[in-house]
Structure 1
Amino acid sequence: MSRYEQASHVFWRCQYHIVWTPKYRFKILKNNIGKDVFRFIHIYSEKLGVKVVELNVQVDHIHLVAKVPPKLSISKVMGCLKGRLALKLFSKYPHLRKNKAWGGRFWQRGYFVDTVGVNEEIIRRYVRHQDKMEKQEERRQLNLLG
């Protein structure tokens, strides 16, 4: 199996590590609520075309490693996930909405995101030596023709 995904005109491997928390980092993601969050993240991610690689729902935060197609921005993915999850949780667990501290919002406003990919040093070396590699390839092509 390839490490890369394929669409009609692109090969890609856009993996992200994303962390987000309930408002005020309340320890609310336990028992059935935590299980539902886990399940709904899988469901909503699949609908967006996002592949869940790793998912860990802690009582006060969520870690998600996901492959996100290049046509989607992380902010769009997070807006959809957090929005849909909040609506679903508030409808399934009405007692959550009654807490005035929520202010009608389930999640903290922001999130953490980092790319998961090739080692930075490898990329820097590649960029640094790209011109040499291109010249070697040109010479190889000329030798094949001549």
Structure 2
Amino acid sequence: MQTPTKTAAHSVYNLNYHIVFVTKYRNKVLTGAIEDHIKEQMPILCERYGWEQLALEVMPDHVHLFVSAPPTTAPVTIAKTLKSILAVSLFKTFPTLKQKRFWGSGL
């Protein structure tokens, strides 16, 4: 069985990254409607930036994301872009989340 490859202007690649996002203080807040919001928004964000979401698993205190990206994108760029945009989206959608668990700071 051949591995699926993608092509760019001057390369053939198959780069997949396993990224784990952890909540601040490992608070178990990623459940219910918040979990549904993450599962809804993550594929949209990946598509917007040209990355392919291969798998997503949301646990109460962390998120596992398996994503494929071109070699021109650093893994740290993927992680910080997705986490920052998703955190802003979560805090706008669930304003009490920021007040109760995170004392006005990041997710």
TM-score w.r.t. the length of structure 1 is: 0.68
SS at the partner of 2:83?
helix
Structure 1 match to 2:5: 4
Q: 1:7 to 1:61 in 2, by over 3 A?
A: same
The total of aligned residue pairs comes to 106
Asked if 1:74 is matched to 2:75, the reply is: yes
Identity score, percent: 31
The residue type paired with residue 62 of structure 2 is: H
- Which contiguous aligned blocks of 4+ residues in structure 1 show a shift greater than 2 angstroms? 99-103
In the TM superposition, residue 10 of structure 1 has moved relative to its aligned partner by 1.3
Structure 2 match to 1:22: 23
5+ residue gaps, structure 2, are none
Asked if 1:35 is matched to 2:36, the reply is: yes
Could you report, residue by residue, the CA deviation over 1:45-97 in whole angstroms, capped at 9, with x for unpaired residues?
11111101111111111111111111111111111100000100000111012
| C-alpha RMSD over aligned residues | 1.6
Structure 2 match to 1:133: none
Structure 1 or 2, whichever has the larger Rg, is: 1
| Distance across 2 between alignment mates of 1:49 and 1:59 | 28
The residue type paired with residue 59 of structure 1 is: P
More helix by share: 1
| Distance across 2 between alignment mates of 1:18 and 1:105 | 18
The residue type paired with residue 55 of structure 2 is: E
| Distance across 1 between alignment mates of 2:27 and 2:44 | 24
The residue type paired with residue 66 of structure 1 is: V
5+ residue gaps, structure 1, are 107-146
Asked if 1 retains the 8 angstrom alpha-carbon contact of 2:27 and 2:101, the reply is: no
Structure 2 match to 1:119: none
